[in-house]
Structures are given as structure tokens and as C-alpha cells.
Structure 1
Amino acid sequence: MAGRDAEKRHTDGDGKRHTDVTDSAESTWEQQLLDHLRPTARDVRRIVDWLAATVDATVSLRDDAGTLLAGRTVSLDEDLAADIVAGRIASAACEDDGRHLRLLRVDLPPPAGAGVLTVSRTAPFDRRTSEVVTHTTAALALLLCAERTTATGQRLARATSDLRLAILQLLMVEDTVAARRVAAGLWPGLLDTDTACVYVVESTPDDRDRLAEACIAATRDHALVVRCPAMDAHVIVVAPHDTAGPALRGLCDRHPDTFLGGSLPQGLAHTATAYGQAVSALAVAHFRPGKAAVHAERTHPERLMDPAVVHAWTTRLLRPLDTLPHHTRAELLATTRLGLEFTAVNTAKVLGVSRNTVRARMERVETLLGTDFADLTVRAAVHLALTAQAGLDDLGSGPATAPVHLDDLLTGPALHSWAGDLLTRLDTDPRDLRRTLRTWIAAGGNAERAAHLLGVHAQTVREHVRSAEPVLERQLLAAGSDLYEVVLAHLITGDLDRPRLHPAQSGLPDAPVHR
């Protein structure tokens, strides 16, 4: 019958009539199998279930240990299964207690080496059934091979990502020797530099993986690109010789909702400082039309201070840490730098330690310095010292012979002009944002305490502080460099009392001065 499909009927020697399904039926099951191999429908369990329904059989797929991976359990000769898994035979057919079985070897993704696909029927395997089983086994092999390749690629990507993070964490605690050693295996020469810039690129958590790959492509793998362990929307880029800036700015131009913050060039041992600068610049980038900012693009108070005085004050303030072993001192300083910028939880994620470890290290620094980090003015002063300490080698003069106090740093017309210009931006708002901000800082950044002092609602305090952020171009509700600059501005203008450092040790920097 031309143009029509037909069934071929024949009689076996036992007199029973059998039907072989021809082109139309074959096309149907083949098409169904192909549908299961489409990218959006690939599922080993679904294919095994489909095979069972198509050939009216019980089907199981198990690994080399006998664990069922898909289908239903089928009892079989374990010695025969072992021969198939070991590769001594590729397949087997047998009849057992009225059941007709086909056993076929299937390669599995690691750690399993191979598995056994078993098809059990009460009826014998005819030509159609055998073809369906054979083609399905081949399809499973292709699908599992693709999964092996994908799984291997994913494991390699995860391992590479973990390695990048490990290198960053070593740099954060000033262990540049170990960081270079780890990096040398995969990125030879990447850290063969004295200075580097740190950039933080921000998008959305959902786009972070795409953004990280774009950063790697933009820097041509000549920079350390790390998915930030603390902020789901951030990608950290450590770029030797400041070579990545233009390429990363181009990313911001091409991709919406992408922002870039960059640091000044810093020695590799001061990566933690550079990271803080980059995060601070990122906050400014949100207020810039170009969506990008670099730390050096605005005047920072420490750059207006006498370098020799800064050197002397910083050296004396941090002297209690000088008695510690170098690696311990470096850990405490790096942890405190980040702990003053971020929460204990986020600092712990960046450094790869527990938050209890972060708190313990910072409490040790508090004890050594005789300070209380609950006071925002203390935090701002110590942050200033740590920022200056990162660049002591560039400050030139050695420490002065006479005791140097914080008051000695916060003087001079340039500083007073900077502080006045910054804070007077708030005076145009009729809500008296300046008074609210000053009270909030004095209350340790606690909106409830500030609200009690001002006689307003805590939400009003938060709204005022939030309204001050775009005016000052600084993030305030998130503690960090931006907030500490504003605190220093209040100290310079005399709107806040000087912090107490080493309160119990007379003669040390910033011991209480009795007036």
C-alpha cells in the first residue's frame, strides 16, 4: 500500500503470530527518545522511566556499588553484573524464572566508573524492543558523557574560583609570599609586582557570575578576579600596575546597573587597605553619572595632614602591637582594618575565618590600644591610624621626639577648610540634618539613642542620616571609610569631643588632657 505504513505479520515456528512495528511506530519512539535529549528535557530518571513504559518492562540503572540510580530494583546475577562493570563483557542476555533480561554496561560520571542498565520483561525481546533498548542505552551514554564533561568543567571552575579566593585571603593578611606561591601554578607572573589596585564591581546577585566572567575577559586573565564571599553582588579585582581600570570602566558603560569603585595603588601587603578604599569609592560611584569612582578622585583628610606628624602619631599609637610576632601583628591589623569597614560576619567571610575569630582579634586590639570600638570617634581615629600605617614608608620623616596627640593632626587651615566645606553642605536642608547627624554619631550610630536625645522617632533619625548620604556623597548607615571621614570632619570643627585612646596610660598618644 503505497504512501501508507503497514504492519508485517509473521508466524514463528511455535505457531504464534507476532507483529513488527514498521516505520511509523519506529519514528514515534525515536522521536520521543530525541525529545528526551533536548537541553531542557535531559533527565536520566525520565529516560529510564520512558524506556520501561515503551518496552513494557522493569528497568533499573545502578552504579558499580549496586546503588539504584534510576528506575526500579531488578534482581540479577551479581557475578554477571560485576563482569559487566569491570568491562570483561559489554552486555548479556539471559532468562531467569520466566523473566527475560538484558544487561548493558553504561559509563557513569565520577566517582563511579560504570553502571549496569537492566531491562526485565515477561515477554521475549523482539526486534523492536531490542532496538529501543540499544538506542536508549546509547542515548544514556551520550547524556552521561555530557554530564561528566559538564561536571568536570564545573569542578574545575569551582576549584579555580576557590583558588582565587584563597590567594585574595592570603593577601588580606599580608602573606604575600604564600599568595605568590599559590598563584604561580595557574597564573605565572600575576603577582610579580610591588603595587596593585583593587576594584570592586557591583551588579546584582543574579548577574554576578556573568559579571565575573566579563571581568576575567576584560582583564584578559591578567588580574585576580574573585567573587566576593561577603557581598553577593560584588566582584573583587586585584590588578597589578593599575592596568584594569579602563577595561572595567568599559564594563560599566556596556552593562546597566553596574558600578565600579577603585583604590589607589597600594603595596600587595596592603591589599586590605586597598579593598576598603575600593568599597568606599563604590559608594561614591552610585552618585556619579559614569557609575565609576576611584578613591583618589576626592580629597581625603589624611592627605591634608602633616606627613611627619601622622607618622609620629601612628607609630606611637600602634606601638603596643610591635611586640607581637610579625604574622600575629599582620593578622590583627588586617582583621581590624576590615572589621572597622564591615560587619564581623562579612569580615569573617572575606578572611575565611569564623566571626568569633574576628571579634576575638578585634577585642585583642582594643585591649592593646586601650580603646573601645563601640565609640565611633575611637573607630574613626584608629581607622585613620591604620590607613596611614599602610603608607608609612611613603611619609618620609621619622617620628617626632615630642609626644604627638590626635589634636596635633586635626589642625591647620587646609583641614578646617575641608571639614567646613563638607559639613556646610547639610545646612541648606531645613530639617537640620547636621544636628541629627552629629547627635547620631555621638550616640555611636544608634538611631534609638539619638532619637531619645533629639526627642524624635528613631525612623526620623534614620531618614535624616539617609538624606545626608547623597549630599555628602558618602555612605553613612554602613560603617566604613565614608562614615569615619564625616566623623573626622566633626572632630576637626569641634562639633564632637576628642576620642579617648589609651585612657589609663599617661604620656601615650591621646591620653586624657585635663583642661
Structure 2
Amino acid sequence: MTGGGIRRTETAVGEPPTWAQELLEHLRPTGRDVRRLVDWLAATAQAAVSLQDSAGTLVAGTRLPLDEAPVADITSGRIASAAWEGEGRHLRLVKVAHPSRICVLAVSRDVPFDRNTSDVVTHTAQVIELLLAAHESTAAGHRLRRATADLRLAILQLLMVEDTVAARRVAAGLWPGLLDADTACVYVVESDPGRRDRLVEECLDTTGEEALVVRCPAMDGHVIVVSPREATAGELRSLVERHPDTFLGGSARQSLARTATAYGQAVSALAVAHFRTDKTAVYAERTHPERLVDPAALRGWTARVLRPLDALPHHTRAELLATTRLGLEFTAVNTAKVLGVSRNTVRARMERVEVMLGTDFDDLTARAVVHLALHTQVNLLDGQAGADPGTASPCLADLLAGPAVRAWAQDLLDRLNRDTRNLRRTLRTWIAAGGNAERAAQALGVHAQTVREHVRGAEPVLERQLLAAGADLYEVVLAHLAVGDLEQPVLTGASQASPPA
């Protein structure tokens, strides 16, 4: 140990002293901590050390009694350092430049500062400057990324409620031209939640920031990508190929106003992707029941079902329809997260639609029928007028009674007849019980777990998800209605709104 108090070990000729090597360690990514660096300086210089800002706030170390005058001279920039000794104390003050303000590093010792100790203090102050600048830059970058991510989510939520004008206006400032196209595809990329932030960055890099990339607010492992570019599908497939346990689901091309519909399609495709060797899937345009109905008749029926909502202001009507469309596909909690509202707001909006349509969404047949109307409203009406209010429109039974629909329904449900467990009876009873396994079990005289196993067993046979409410389940419900295995649901609001025959 020297008289000045610095502890040192012998080093080879030409090598830096040990304290310099230790100081450099604090610049490594794992060692960048100002508080730990100040503690290291205190131990190395055998001194009391404090780092405070111009307001006197202690940043690191232990608070020291300091004369305000030299501190003010340093923080104002008039001087870069100061030294004082007296009353058995030796004090050094050094300016530490901070990106937003000047700090003061104070080192107090019982013995005088020798050359080595002075070097340690000077170099430590320089390293502190670097760490503070890096921290400020990192924090600013984090705030910018957070604000940008929030803005992307806000744009997605506007698209989800069909407010494309506002979505384009918000996007124009940062991503000019991103939403200029009339149509787009929605993709959902899934990975382990722990690596989602990295996945977001890779999606941004892969798409060249020419797509709307959003952390899904409902599912921790999901990243939502909205893109009008054809090349995006291939870019995302390439990304998925590079990473294990990463999956991709994509929608059919939809207008921007149908972003919510496209999102539902992408989620449905994502479920299929888990069973594909390439871990990707695009929403399959299989035969849907509405494709087998006369379009004019379907438009007329849809207009009559949704007519009770026509008296509402356009924005309110669009908000209720968009919320209900998502609420019928997902839980109230996940719908709320996607739309950026509370789950109570989602429930209140859906309850309002229930009342206006005169139905009960606890009834799976009612949910399926309203889902059909909402699906038609965005896919067939698309700005076209429905039936004239003075013209009689067909009822649901008439729509489902056509030979093409009945043949489709019979073919679909007949697949269940090959199973000796009588899956068809269990599924019919479970649907009639509102998807409640306990009530269905009571009606069948079996255990609730048996009902769940039968419903789960019907999924691969029908090639549709049933336990998760959504379009797949509603198609199966419509098939039961078409063949007469279930009673038609009640929609008194639509009946009251229909014109007299």
C-alpha cells in the first residue's frame, strides 16, 4: 500500500495498473451500474464518495457535507474541478457531464490525494459520464420504442372498429403510405412470451417497417402484423423457418374496414399451423354455409336482423357491431384488450345489442345466427343496400332449407355417425345446453368429463374448433339448425323490425 492509500498489485512492464483494468470492467454490458461504480471508487480510493446532481439530489454513494459555492461553480460550468483540505479532511470535486444536467462527483479522504488516487478519481469521473450518457440514451430509446408501440396499437384498435379514416390519419405522420391501400392481410406470429419483444423487432426488420406490427394486447405470445404487401407472407414464413416453436397464421385479403374479420381468420389459421410441418397456415376458404345461400336473400335477411340498430348514429352502430363481432369470436377479456377498452364496456355494448335484437347470447344458436348476420354484413353488404324496408325478406328457416345448405349440413354431421360413442348426440345436447358440459352431462346421464372428451373428439372429425367459441363452432351450430336437430333461436327485435307480410 502506498502512502496515499491506493491498493495496488504488481503488474508487468507496460501493462495498465490493476485499478484501470477493474475500471474497464464497469464498461462491460453486464457491469454498467453507476451506483456500483461509485462504491468501487470508494473502496479503491479508501474514501467517502458521493455523486449528486445540480439540485442536490443524491444519485449514488453517501451524502457528504459540501460547500455550496464550489458546487455551484461546477454545476454552472464555470469550473471543472475543485480541491479543498482542512479539519483533517481532503476533498476533491469533479464535474461529471450529464446529457440533461451537470453532476458533481465528491471524494473525501482522511489522507492527501497522491498521483495514483487522483488518476483513479479523474478516470472514474470519465467512466461515470459515459455510463450516464448511455443510460440516458437507452432510456430515451426505450421511451421512443414504447411510444411507437402504443401508437401502432392505437392504429390497430381504430382499424378493429372500422375507423379507417382516423387510422390512416394517425399512421400518416410516422409511416406515410402504410395504410394507403384499400385491402390488407392480417398475420399472427406466435412464439414463447419470453421472446416476444425480440420477435417484434425481427418482424419490423423482416418487413422493412412496411407493415403495422403490434404486440397483441390479449395474448402474451402473439404479434399481429397488418400489411397490404403481397411479399409480407413470404417474409414472415422465412422468419418462422429460422426459429423453433414459432408459428404463423394468415388471413384472406380483406378491406381495411374488415380488419377485425381478418384478425379472426388469422387466429383460426394459427391453430391449424400448430399441426403443419412448416408451422404456417393461411385461412382456408372452405365451403361456408353462407356461400350456399342466394346472396340477395341473405342480404335481405341480414338487413332485417340488424335493422333495430339502423336508427343509431353511424359511429355508435359501427362501434356496437365491431365489438359484438369480436365478442362472439373471443372472450370479453381478450376482446377488451384488443379494442383497448374495459371488459365491462365490451359486456355493456354486447348487452345493448342483445336487447335491441331481442335475443340472448347465452344461447349458442342465437350467437351463431347473429354471427352469421354480422359476417354477412361485412362480407356481402359492403356498402350495398339490403332489401327494401317494404319488401318481405326470408326467415332463417327458409335460408337454411335450401338443398345446397341441407346437403352441406348433412354431410358435415354425418361424419360423426362413424364413431361408436354417439358423438353427434353429445354434441347436439352440449350445444343446446349453451356449451355447458355440466348441464349437458345431466341431460345425458353421464359425467361432465365424458361430455368434454366427446366434444374434443368431434373436433378432428369435423376439422373445426368447438371448445373455443368462434366461427368454427357457429358453423356446426348452423348445420344442426339446417337439418332440424336444434330449435330456431328467438330474435324478437328483428321480428318487430320486419315489415308486415
Q: Is the 8 A contact 2:363 2:434 kept in 1?
A: yes
Closer/same/farther in 2, CA of residues 18 and 377 from structure 1, 3 Å limit: closer
Counterpart residue number, 1:278 = 266
Q: How much has 1:370 moved relative to structure 2?
A: 0.9
Q: Amino acid of the residue matched to residue 466 of structure 1? A: R
Identify which of 418, 431, 446 aligns with 1:441: 431
Q: Using the TM superposition, name which of 58-67 and 177-186 deviates more.
A: 58-67
Q: Is the 8 A contact 2:308 2:493 kept in 1?
A: no
Q: Amino acid of the residue matched to residue 66 of structure 1? A: G
Query: Per-residue CA shift, 1:15-42, capped at 9, x if unaligned?
Result: xx76887783762111211222221222
Q: Using the TM superposition, name which of 32-41 and 356-365 deviates more.
A: 32-41
Aligned equivalents of 1:20, 1:440: Cα separation in 2? 80
User: Structure 1-normalised TM-score?
Assistant: 0.89
Aligned equivalents of 1:507, 1:139: Cα separation in 2? 76
Residue 441 of structure 2 aligns to a residue in which SS? helix
1:208 corresponds to 2:189? no
Q: Amino acid of the residue matched to residue 467 of structure 1? A: G
Counterpart residue number, 1:324 = 312
Counterpart residue number, 2:335 = 347
Mapping 1:483-494, distance limit 5 Å? 483-494=473-484
Aligned equivalents of 1:257, 1:279: Cα separation in 2? 16
Counterpart residue number, 1:199 = 187
Counterpart residue number, 1:4 = none
Closer/same/farther in 2, CA of residues 430 and 27 from structure 1, 3 Å limit: farther
Give the gaps of 5 or more residues in structure 2. Answer: none
Q: How much has 1:101 moved relative to structure 2?
A: 1.6
Q: Is the 8 A contact 2:357 2:493 kept in 1?
A: no
Aligned equivalents of 1:477, 1:65: Cα separation in 2? 60
Give the gaps of 5 or more residues in structure 1. Answer: 1-6, 10-16
Q: Is the 8 A contact 2:8 2:18 kept in 1?
A: no
Counterpart residue number, 2:488 = 498
Identify which of 408, 411, 419 aligns with 1:429: 419
Q: How much has 1:175 moved relative to structure 2?
A: 1.3
Q: Is the 8 A contact 1:475 1:482 kept in 2?
A: yes
Aligned equivalents of 2:384, 2:5: Cα separation in 1? 97
Aligned equivalents of 2:200, 2:234: Cα separation in 1? 16
Q: Using the TM superposition, name which of 285-294 and 303-312 deviates more.
A: 285-294
1:404 corresponds to 2:394? yes
Q: Is the 8 A contact 2:32 2:131 kept in 1?
A: yes
1:24 corresponds to 2:14? no
1:98 corresponds to 2:84? no
Mapping 1:108-119, distance limit 5 Å? 108=98, 113-119=101-107
Q: Amino acid of the residue matched to residue 71 of structure 1? A: G
Query: Per-residue CA shift, 1:441-479, capped at 9, x if unaligned?
Result: 111111221222222222222222223223333222221
Q: Amino acid of the residue matched to residue 312 of structure 1? A: G
Q: Using the TM superposition, name which of 50-59 and 115-124 deviates more.
A: 115-124
Q: How much has 1:158 moved relative to structure 2?
A: 1.2
Q: Using the TM superposition, name which of 97-106 and 163-172 deviates more.
A: 97-106
Closer/same/farther in 2, CA of residues 125 and 18 from structure 1, 3 Å limit: closer
Residue 24 of structure 1 aligns to a residue in which SS? coil
1:38 corresponds to 2:28? yes
Closer/same/farther in 2, CA of residues 115 and 498 from structure 1, 3 Å limit: same
Aligned equivalents of 1:184, 1:54: Cα separation in 2? 55
Identify which of 232, 255, 266 aligns with 1:267: 255
Q: Using the TM superposition, name which of 136-145 and 459-468 deviates more.
A: 459-468
Counterpart residue number, 1:308 = 296
Closer/same/farther in 2, CA of residues 241 and 395 from structure 1, 3 Å limit: farther
Q: How much has 1:242 moved relative to structure 2?
A: 4.3
Identify which of 209, 224, 236 aligns with 2:212: 224
Q: Is the 8 A contact 1:308 1:395 kept in 2?
A: no
Q: Amino acid of the residue matched to residue 308 of structure 1? A: A
Closer/same/farther in 2, CA of residues 446 and 256 from structure 1, 3 Å limit: same
Q: Is the 8 A contact 1:242 1:265 kept in 2?
A: no
Q: Is the 8 A contact 1:284 1:474 kept in 2?
A: no
Closer/same/farther in 2, CA of residues 466 and 114 from structure 1, 3 Å limit: farther
Q: How much has 1:115 moved relative to structure 2?
A: 2.1
Mapping 1:2-151, distance limit 5 Å? 24=10, 27-95=17-85, 97-108=87-98, 113-151=101-139
Q: How much has 1:323 moved relative to structure 2?
A: 0.9
Query: Per-residue CA shift, 1:348-380, capped at 9, x if unaligned?
Result: 111111111111111111111111111111111
The number of aligned residues is 494
Q: How much has 1:435 moved relative to structure 2?
A: 2.1
1:473 corresponds to 2:463? yes
Q: Is the 8 A contact 2:426 2:454 kept in 1?
A: yes
Aligned equivalents of 1:41, 1:152: Cα separation in 2? 20
Q: How much has 1:398 moved relative to structure 2?
A: 4.6
Residue 260 of structure 1 aligns to a residue in which SS? strand
Q: How much has 1:436 moved relative to structure 2?
A: 2.0
RMSD: 2.4
Aligned equivalents of 1:446, 1:327: Cα separation in 2? 35
Identify which of 327, 336, 345 aligns with 2:324: 336
Q: Using the TM superposition, name which of 177-186 and 475-484 deviates more.
A: 475-484
Q: Is the 8 A contact 1:308 1:396 kept in 2?
A: no
Aligned equivalents of 2:91, 2:268: Cα separation in 1? 68
Identify which of 459, 462, 472 aligns with 2:452: 462
